[in-house]
Amino acid sequence: MRIQEEIRRLSGLRDPQGAFLSAYFNWERRDRAHRKRIQEALKRSERRSLQGVEDDDLRARIQEDFRAVARHLRKGFPSGTRGICVFASSGLGLFESHVLPVPFKTQIMVASRPFLLPLARVSDEYEHYLVALVDTESALILEIAGSIVLREEALSAEVPGRHSQGGWSQMRYQRHIEDHRDRHHREAADRLTRWVDDARVDSVLLSGQDRILANFQEFLPERVKRRILGSLSMDIRASKDEIQRRCQQLLQKKKEASHRALVRELLESVLTDGPAVVGVKETVRSLNEGKLGTLVVSRDFASIGALCTSCEMLHWEGTAQCPYCGGTAQPVSLEQELINAALQKGADAVTVVGDPDLERHGGVGAFLRYR
Ligand SMILES: [Zn+2]
């Protein structure tokens, strides 16, 4: 579940009949009144979407998608789920849902393209990772998405106590203990590796005493070592909440540092005439010219621009008439258009929280694919 990749894949989808359903739900409350409000919102949105639709097949498809979403919401979701988003288009044979540990504002939309902005916004705000807490004779591996523990497994090795090994020399006993520890570490490393391979998770954290982690890492393959973001020293018996909180703090610190570095790199590149731009106008221009690479956008950036319905050029300010071709232009959310465009081109969109340097430059900028 690399959410940026999911967004990228979704951003390339089009329903030619304009019946792509995107729905976001606030799942912080699960009481009946809240569920009822959600079902009512679905009904209202369905009625609105069917207005003016004459084609019977298309009407049936839209109705089927809404029914599928309503059915889906009656299922159970993992504890800790605070937001759910669903994308459905029976015309494309698509139905998928993501649960998130952060809430969405409930909103439902039917259009020719998926509505991805809320998902793109939150994808930067929570982390999906594995954490392995390792000791000499026990290990605990958790897969965590934000505040949700998706799965966990405890491993323990039976290390015979000294008292039961009467007559052993100190050296022989020591060797015996080390063999046990290595076997345990190898087993835990194999398990962690399997989880990395099948959970499609980029980030791994380790926790344990330095000496123990050094030994444990000997048994990890390179592809897992590469994903290790850092290590902590937590008690293996700590509560899940405590583990999740400490990991989150570490990841947050790492992310903030990497975002600060990214903004600095962007501004330096602009100053030295490198392949980068800052500011709304320049960023939109780079998109129109097909140069847009990695987009760097402040979370508070919100601006209305216009998209030409005939030549598809984007304008950095609202206008009803396209200055390029004279066609009709419609108001659009610039952050959504920019994020979508970056992801569709296979570039990244990085949402930065409250960086004063980026704010001073209009809250948006981009690295270019070429100058
Ligand atoms: Zn135009």
DSSP designation for 194: H
What CA–CA distance (Å, rounded) separates 171 from 300?
Answer: 63
In the reported structure, the alpha carbon of residue 114 is separated from the centroid of ligand 1 by a whole-number distance in angstroms of 23
In the reported structure, the alpha carbon of residue 320 is separated from the centroid of ligand 1 by a whole-number distance in angstroms of 10
Structurally, how many domains does the chain consist of? 3
- Given 189, 205, 238, the domain boundary residue is 238
Same domain (yes/no): 200, 267:
no
Count the helix, strand and coil residues of the chain and give each as a percent rounded to the nearest 5. Answer: 40, 25, 35
Is residue 246 in some structural domain?
no
Q: Report which residue type is found at 258.
A: S
Q: What is the CATH number of the domain that holds 361?
A: 3.30.1330.30
Residue owning tokens 């594995």? 130
Mean predicted lDDT score pLDDT of the chain: 89
- Give residue 172's pLDDT: 84
In the reported structure, the alpha carbon of residue 341 is separated from the centroid of ligand 1 by a whole-number distance in angstroms of 17
Could you list the residue range(s) of the whole structural domain that residue 273 is in?
256-368
Q: What is the CATH number of the domain that holds 22?
A: 3.30.960.10
- Give residue 344's pLDDT: 73
Q: What is the CATH number of the domain that holds 160?
A: 3.30.420.60
In the reported structure, the alpha carbon of residue 312 is separated from the centroid of ligand 1 by a whole-number distance in angstroms of 6
Same domain (yes/no): 84, 146:
no
Same domain (yes/no): 119, 20:
yes
Is residue 182 in some structural domain?
yes
- Give residue 192's pLDDT: 96
Same domain (yes/no): 54, 140:
no
Q: In the beta sheet, which residues pair with residue 149? A: 144
Same domain (yes/no): 138, 216:
yes
Same domain (yes/no): 22, 75:
yes
Is residue 248 in some structural domain?
no
In the reported structure, the alpha carbon of residue 317 is separated from the centroid of ligand 1 by a whole-number distance in angstroms of 14
Same domain (yes/no): 138, 233:
yes
User: Cβ neighbours of residue 100 under 8 Å, at least 6 residues apart?
Assistant: 81, 82, 83, 84, 85, 122, 126, 145, 146
Is residue 247 in some structural domain?
no
Rounded to an integer, the average pLDDT of 6-33 is: 88
In the reported structure, the alpha carbon of residue 318 is separated from the centroid of ligand 1 by a whole-number distance in angstroms of 13
Greatest CA span in the chain, whole angstroms?
Answer: 95
Is residue 148 in some structural domain?
yes
pLDDT bucket at 1, cuts 50 / 70 / 90: very low
- Given 69, 94, 123, the domain boundary residue is 123
In the reported structure, the alpha carbon of residue 275 is separated from the centroid of ligand 1 by a whole-number distance in angstroms of 26
Is residue 291 in some structural domain?
yes
In the reported structure, the alpha carbon of residue 321 is separated from the centroid of ligand 1 by a whole-number distance in angstroms of 8
Same domain (yes/no): 112, 9:
yes
pLDDT tens per residue, range 127-175: 789 999 999 989 999 988 777 777 889 998 776 665 555 566 878 888 8
Is residue 251 in some structural domain?
no
Is residue 362 in some structural domain?
yes
pTM for the structure as a whole: 0.67
| DSSP β-ladder status, 228-232 and 203-207 | parallel
Same domain (yes/no): 212, 261:
no
What CA–CA distance (Å, rounded) separates 306 from 284?
Answer: 11
What CA–CA distance (Å, rounded) separates 365 from 266?
Answer: 8
Rounded to an integer, the average pLDDT of 110-129 is: 81
What CA–CA distance (Å, rounded) separates 247 from 250?
Answer: 5
| Count of C-beta atoms within a 10 Å radius of residue 35 | 15
Same domain (yes/no): 201, 100:
no
Q: Is the pLDDT of residue 60 over 90?
A: yes
In the reported structure, the alpha carbon of residue 115 is separated from the centroid of ligand 1 by a whole-number distance in angstroms of 23
In the reported structure, the alpha carbon of residue 81 is separated from the centroid of ligand 1 by a whole-number distance in angstroms of 43
Apex 315 CA angle, 309 and 319, nearest 5: 75
- Given 105, 123, 141, the domain boundary residue is 123
Q: Report which residue type is found at 223.
A: R
Same domain (yes/no): 98, 143:
no
Same domain (yes/no): 64, 110:
yes
